[in-house]
Every structure is written in structure tokens, then in C-alpha cells.
């Protein structure tokens, strides 16, 4: 039976119980100690960590205390129950160990049987609108033992999830300047205005930023990457946009535009896939295209299931991207679909 894909707005960290089955063969430190430390950091208390690991609180406290003794450092502040600076350093490495252990298990299973296991794919909502369905269909047809989990989140929310291993891959906006995150280009998208046919902007196939400044439009708030980039580009040309309302969330902004509240400035992906109606999509001249990238953690080796999912994702972008208005595929033509 083909596994049912799971779509969630946020993602809990991978189960720490996997690590409990692995015990280091040498040295005093073992993986159980790291497992318990991760559980305390993720659940916020020793008692909650114990429940998540199906054990007693004293067992969790003992393992964490032994790890602290061996490292000669306090890892969890007992008053705030937050990791100390030393604890953060240990947790970062422990999380990578957990990712590698899960990848090891998935690799062995995929070598013995069909490629299977869970792959967590983060994706910005505007791109997921036209990419998610064909991606899930292709994964289900080619890898029926694979269980994809899609995480709908903004780019800024996906960065820490990539670092912690909560997602294996992510489709997000560039640029990404974090050294631990490796990226490759997928496509660039134009910026557009969505308005009803009775608005003056709808009389044009494309408009300049000078023409946009003559009208009130809906924008994301100051402080969001999309708005700040837009303001910087317009400001360099001496143009100031006139917000009618600021909406924190491109999906909600898109819905309000399609309902006819006011014209909205959006990335092209947000305007893709809506049925024909009483609205127009107008290109904006003179603005930089928004890059969309495929990202993963640089310091971990992708498992066979992750490599398979990445290959199918590239295939979807390559096949469907050119047919999406305002989308310009930037993937290398010879990209290996099996590469991570």
C-alpha cells in the first residue's frame, strides 16, 4: 500500500528513541546520554523528556549528570532549563549524530529493500502551491515505500530546521548566507501585481515601479525579507510605495488580492494556479527576480531516500517550471537527478 503523505504546518524533531538503540562501543560517553540531553532540550524539562523516552525522570537526570561530569561542564541550567553555552555546542553535534544515525538506518533499509523511510521536505508556501502535488505523485509512483513529510514554512523558519535536522531538504528563497547550509539554484521568479479588472493597473500587461507608486497596494510588513528587498530596490530609484494595508503572510496577501480587496505585489509563484476570474496578473518592470533555492545541511551526508526525493524535486521543477508564468528555471541543465 502506498504510504499516505503527511502535510504539517510545523515539524516536531525526529524521535530521539532511535538513538537509544545505539550504544557506543568504547569510551565512557555513550549515545544514551546524548539522547537524554536532546530530549531535555527539546521538551523543556526532565519530566517531559522522561515521558517522551518512556522512562522515569531519575533515569534522564542520571544520564545528563554523567555526561556533564565526563565533559566537566554544566549543559542544562537547572533554573531556566535552557542549554548553557557549552550545552548548545554539545547539542549541535548531538543533533548531527542523530541525523547520521537515521540516515544510516534508512540507507541500510533502502539497500536491502525498496528505497523507503521518512523524508522531511520544507517548502515556502508560494512554491508549494504548484509543486507539491506533482512531487507527491511522482514520489508515490516511483518510491512507494517512501514517506514524505511536507513542511509549509517561511524561509526564515526553515533555516533553523535545516540546521537542527528537523527537515532534510528545503525549498526556500535566497540568498542564504549561513555557512552550515548548502544551496543550489532552482528558479528565479518575477514580481507581479494581482488586481481586479476594474482597477487601473489591470489595463497594462506590465507596469513600472513609478506607475505602482501612483496607487495604494497591499504589501508585506517592513522587516520581512520580501518587503525590505522591495523597498531597497524602489528606494534606490527614488520611489516610495504606498501601502494600503500590510499583511504578514504571502498566502493571506494573495487571498485578499484575489477577493478584490486591493492590488497586491507578489512573487510570481503566488499568482500561479488560480482559476480565471475577474482579476489580472501584471508584470512589474525593473525589479530583480526572486531566487528560489534547494537547501540542505552542509555537514551531514544525505541518505538514499533524501537523494531520491531531491532528484524527483529537481525533475518537477525542470518539467513544470517553464510552464509557470513568471518562473525562470536556473537549475544546471546537466544536474544529476540522483545527487543530493
Residues 266 and 124 in one domain: no
Residues 138 and 216 in one domain: no
Lowest mean pLDDT across 52-56, 92-96, 104-108, 226-230: 104-108
Please say if the pLDDT value at position 92 is more than 60.
Answer: yes
The answer to the question of residue 112 being in a domain is yes
Lowest mean pLDDT across 19-23, 52-56, 215-219, 310-314: 19-23
Handedness of CA 129, 130, 132, 137 (dihedral sign): positive
Q: Band of the pLDDT at 338, cuts 50, 70, 90? A: very low
Higher pLDDT, residue 109 or 148: 148
Residues 153 and 301 in one domain: yes
SS3 206: strand
Rg (CA), the chain: 23
Mean pLDDT of 256-260: 88
Task: Give 142-200 pLDDT, tens digit per residue.
Answer: 999 899 999 999 898 999 889 878 899 999 999 898 888 999 999 999 999 999 898 99
Residues 296 and 169 in one domain: yes
CATH number at residue 175: 3.40.190.10
The answer to the question of residue 161 being in a domain is yes
Nearest-angstrom CA–CA distance, 289 and 278: 26
Nearest-angstrom CA–CA distance, 279 and 340: 40
Number of domains in the chain: 3
As to burial, measured by CB atoms within 10 angstroms (0-12 exposed, 13-18 middle, 19+ buried), residue 177 is exposed
The answer to the question of residue 50 being in a domain is yes
Mean pLDDT of 247-255: 89
Q: Is the pTM of the predicted complex or chain greater than 0.75?
A: no
Pick from 98, 120, 140: which residue ends a domain?
98
Q: Closest Cα partner for 295 from 250, 229, 249, 340?
A: 340
The answer to the question of residue 110 being in a domain is yes
Task: Give 208-235 pLDDT, tens digit per residue.
Answer: 999 999 999 999 999 988 999 999 999 9
The answer to the question of residue 334 being in a domain is no
Paired strand residues for 147: 118
Nearest-angstrom CA–CA distance, 54 and 39: 11
Residue 233 has a pLDDT of 94
Paired strand residues for 306: none
Domain range holding 53? 16-98
Q: Closest Cα partner for 40 from 9, 11, 69, 13?
A: 13
Residues of the chain above pLDDT 70, percent? 84
Nearest-angstrom CA–CA distance, 340 and 336: 9
DSSP string, 56-76: -HHHHHHHHHHHHHHHTS--B
Nearest-angstrom CA–CA distance, 60 and 298: 31
Q: Band of the pLDDT at 36, cuts 50, 70, 90? A: confident
Q: Band of the pLDDT at 22, cuts 50, 70, 90? A: very low
Report in angstroms the alpha-carbon separations of 282 from 47, 73, 277, 315.
Answer: 56, 59, 14, 28
CATH number at residue 204: 3.40.190.290
The answer to the question of residue 339 being in a domain is no
Pick from 67, 98, 129: which residue ends a domain?
98
Amino acid at each position: 500500500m502506498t504510504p499516505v503523505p503527511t502535510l504539517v504546518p510545523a515539524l516536531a524533531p525526529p524521535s530521539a528513541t532511535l538513538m537509544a538503540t545505539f550504544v557506543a562501543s568504547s569510551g565512557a560517553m555513550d549515545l544514551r546520554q546524548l539522547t537524554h540531553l536532546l530530549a531535555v532540550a527539546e521538551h523543556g524539562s526532565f519530566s517531559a523528556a522522561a515521558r517522551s523516552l518512556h522512562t522515569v525522570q531519575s533515569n534522564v537526570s542520571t544520564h545528563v549528570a554523567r555526561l556533564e561530569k565526563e565533559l566537566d561542564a554544566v549543559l542544562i541550567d537547572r533554573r531556566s532549563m535552557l542549554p548553557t553555552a557549552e550545552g548548545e555546542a554539545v547539542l549541535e553535534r548531538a543533533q548531527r549524530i542523530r541525523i547520521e544515525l537515521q540516515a544510516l538506518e534508512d540507507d541500510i533499509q533502502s539497500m536491502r529493500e525498496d528505497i523507503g523511510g521518512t523524508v522531511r521536505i520544507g517548502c515556502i508556501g508560494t512554491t508549494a502551491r504548484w509543486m507539491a502535488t506533482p512531487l507527491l505523485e511522482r514520489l508515490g509512483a516511483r518510491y512507494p515505500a517512501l514517506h514524505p513529510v511536507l513542511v509549509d514554512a517561511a524561509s526564515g523558519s526553515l533555516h533553523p530546521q535545516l540546521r537542527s535536522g528537523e527537515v532534510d531538504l528545503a525549498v526556500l528563497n535566497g540568498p542564504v548566507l549561513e555557512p552550515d547550509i548548502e544551496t543550489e539554484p532552482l528558479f528565479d521568479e518575477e514580481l507581479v501585481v494581482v488586481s481586479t479588472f476594474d482597477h487601473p493597473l489591470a489595463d497594462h500587461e506590465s507596469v513600472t515601479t513609478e506607475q505602482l507608486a501612483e496607487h495604494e497596494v497591499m504589501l508585506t510588513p517592513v522587516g520581512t525579507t520580501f518587503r525590505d528587498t522591495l523597498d531597497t530596490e524602489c528606494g534606490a530609484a527614488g520611489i516610495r510605495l504606498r501601502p494600503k494595508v500590510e499583511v504578514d503572510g504571502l498566502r493571506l496577501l494573495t487571498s485578499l488580492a484575489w477577493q478584490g480587496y486591493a492590488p497586491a505585489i507578489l512573487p510570481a509563484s503566488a499568482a500561479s494556479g488560480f482559476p480565471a476570474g475577474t482579476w489580472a496578473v501584471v508584470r512589474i518592470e525593473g525589479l530583480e527576480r526572486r531566487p528560489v533555492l534547494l537547501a540542505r545541511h552542509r555537514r551531514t551526508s544525505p541518505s538514499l531516500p533524501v537523494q531520491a526525493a531531491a532528484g524527483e524535486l529537481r525533475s518537477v521543477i525542470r518539467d513544470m517550471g517553464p510552464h509557470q508564468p513568471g518562473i525562470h528555471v536556473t537549475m544546471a541543465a546537466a544536474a544529476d537527478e540522483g545527487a543530493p
